[in-house]
Chain A
Amino acid sequence: MNWIAIAVTFKLALLTAAVLLVVGLPIAYWLTFSKWRWKFIVESVVALPLVLPPTVLGFYILVAIGPHSPVGRFYSDVVGHPLPFTFEGLLLASILYSLPFAVQPFATAFEQVDRRLIEASWTLGVSKLKTFFRLIVPLSVAGLITGAVLSFAHTLGEFGVVLMVGGNIEGETRTVSIDIYDEVQALNYAGAAKTALLLLAVSYGVLLLVYAMNRKVWAVWPQR
């Protein structure tokens, strides 16, 4: 089994989930509580990676961060090397690709928090930020974990985007799904089968966790 690829994949998935936990919260908050009439425009943009073919997303990212774009030139001027075909480039792509998998469960969880509690908190003079962290977040923990876990799992299995912007470099952008593809082409079916089984087991385990949690088989947060 290719442990380097497994390590790269888990690192990528963990970082993607971590970044999305930070970036996804304000987006989900805004999507839930904004009263802006044209909010659906942003909602649709966030959901785009769900329906867009990964190759299309990958293609746009490649063009956007490549050496011929202003963003790509700025990055390589500052950091000293271009962004495509690096771990950082792949991380950026994964974050965009998994965005809806984090933001949508977050927003659903926020919506399910009793509005009366939130308004009571506000009218009692508690700031919006404090209300968010002391009331909304604790009451949406299951949704937050679901979002983080789903974006983690989704990144584990990502293939098309990695193929477009990753470049299949060992220890850098060769993820497990790409490694399986390589092993099959090298006619090493036994190697591919082992890694595939690992991916299957991890994916199933992750989904078990999510569904069990949403069924409240065990309470993540003490019930009050």
Chain B
Amino acid sequence: MIRVILVLCLFVIAGVNCSVAEEITIAAASDLSFAFREIVAEYEKTTANHVRLTLGSSGNFYVQIQNGAPFDLYFSADITYPRKLEEAGLTVPGSFYQYAVGRIVMWTGNESRIDVTQGFEALRAPTVKKIAIANPKHAPYGRAAVAAMEYFKVYDQVKDKLVLGENISQAAQFVESGAADVGIIALSLALASPMQAAGHYWEIPSDAHPPIEQAAVMLMGGKNQKSAKAFLSFIQGAEGQTMMKRYGFVVPSPR
């Protein structure tokens, strides 16, 4: 009897260890919000591994990782952060890979009378009181939005109308809720079904701002490199790529 209990205990301990071993923690830029919720759910279904997903601004994650945050994988909306982490020796060598070039769009709700197809000229209209963008200090999409406004020479006229989201999801939420009249948000968020249902968008030409190159790295501070690799190969595989493409995450082939 005692032996049976002992064996059972071993199984329990092994089981606990297994479940801990198969868990990874991912820090992902919030433009991946909708895409990653879907991909993670699919990945968990096919592999029975658990993913702890944290979404936020790439710049904040960069600071947190430098301060020892225990993430296994870091998907940044700005390629410079993973690059800097790589230089600092905080990443697993050879894990760096570019997963997309981000696009921005001008988005407005269905009830709004603002015609976003006019492009940046639409922002000058007096009916536009608040424009939501991500905080350009630490969010790459915010920087791209400012660059595009400067490119179209409207920044000085509209800068007092800007409201800053802590990350690009919050900027999207500001405009989706109607609190802001227009938002400059990530295409990946505009393509998500709740945003599609609530409004429409105009794609900002990609030459209006420096490319939003996005990259992922595996981190030295992570606890589970094997599972992290498994997730990376899932996302780079056919199924993962189909889902990423649906949200506009593609690396354009060089012209």
* CB atoms of B30 and A185 under 8 A apart: yes
Which residues of B (45-69) have their CB < 8 Å from a CB of A? 52-56, 64, 67-69
A169 within 8 A of B: yes
Point out the residue from B55, B64, B67, B70 that lies within 8 Å of A182, measured CB to CB. B55
Does B86 belong to the interface (CB within 8 Å)? no
Contacts of A186 in B (CB 8 A): 33-34, 37, 169
CB distance from B159 to the nearest CB of A (A): 24
Q: Assess whether B54 is in contact with A168, with CB atoms less than 8 Å apart.
A: yes
Q: Is the beta-carbon distance between A84 and B55 smaller than 8 angstroms?
A: no
Residues of chain B in range 163-203 having any CB-CB distance to chain A below 8 Å: 167, 169-170, 172-173, 176, 194-195
Q: Does A150 contact B (CB under 8 A)?
A: no
In this complex, what residue of B is CB-closest to A184? B173
Known: A185-B173, A186-B37, A187-B194. A66 touches B68 (CB 8 A): yes
| B56 interface neighbour in A86, A168, A170, A184, Cβ under 8 Å | A168
Task: A72 to B176: give the CA distance in the assembly, Å.
Answer: 41
Across the interface, do A62 and B67 meet the contact criterion of CB distance under 8 Å? yes
Q: How far is the CA of A182 from the CA of B228 in the complex (A)?
A: 23
Whether B135 sits at the interface, judged by CB under 8 Å, is no
**Is A82 positioned at the interface, with any CB of B under 8 Å from its CB?**
yes
Q: How far is the CB of B35 from chain A (nearest CB, A)?
A: 12
Residues of B contacting A171 in the complex (Cβ-Cβ under 8 angstroms)? 52
**Bound form: Cα–Cα A186–B37 in Å:** 10
A81 B169 Cβ-Cβ under 8 A: no
CB <8 Å contact, A185 and B169: yes
Cα distance A5–B64 in the bound complex, in angstroms = 20
Smallest Cβ distance from B161 to chain A, in angstroms?
Answer: 22
- B89 CB, min distance to chain A CBs, angstroms: 13
Q: Verify B54–A187 contact, CB threshold 8 A.
A: no
Query: Complex formed: what's the CA distance from A82 to B20 in Å?
Result: 19
A121 at the interface (CB under 8 A from B): no
Q: Does B91 make an interface contact (CB < 8 A)?
A: no
**A20 CA / B129 CA spacing, docked (Å):** 48
Say if the beta carbon of B214 comes within 8 Å of chain A. Answer: no
A197 to chain B, nearest CB (A): 19
CA distance A67 to B70 in the complex (A): 12
Who on chain A is nearest to B67 by CB?
Answer: A66
Report B15-58 residues with CB < 8 Å from chain A CB: 25, 30, 33-34, 37, 52-56
Whether the Cβ atoms of B52 and A170 lie closer than 8 Å is yes
Decide if A101 is an interface residue (CB 8 Å cutoff): no
Whether A85 contacts B173 by the Cβ 8 Å rule is no
Please tell me if the beta carbons of A167 and B64 are within 8 angstroms of each other in the complex: yes
* Nearest Cβ on chain A to B86's Cβ, whole angstroms: 18
Q: Please tell me if the beta carbons of B64 and A85 are within 8 angstroms of each other in the complex.
A: yes
Say whether A108 faces chain B, with CB atoms less than 8 Å apart. no
**Residue of B25, B53, B176 touching A187 (CB-CB under 8 A):** B176
In the complex with contacts A170-B52, A185-B30, A85-B68 CB distance below 8 A: yes
Neighbouring A residues of B173 by C-beta, 8 Å: 184-185, 187
CB nearest neighbor in B for A82: B68
Chain A interface residues (CB < 8 Å from chain B): 62, 66-68, 72, 76, 81-86, 167-172, 174, 182, 184-187
Q: Which residues of B contact A (CB under 8 A)?
A: 25, 30, 33-34, 37, 52-56, 64, 67-70, 167, 169-170, 172-173, 176, 194-195, 221
Given contacts A68-B67, A168-B55, A185-B173, 19 further A-B contacts (CB under 8 A): A66-B67, A76-B68, A81-B68, A84-B67, A86-B70, A167-B64, A168-B54, A168-B56, A169-B25, A169-B54, A169-B69, A170-B25, A170-B52, A170-B54, A172-B52, A174-B54, A185-B33, A186-B33, A187-B176
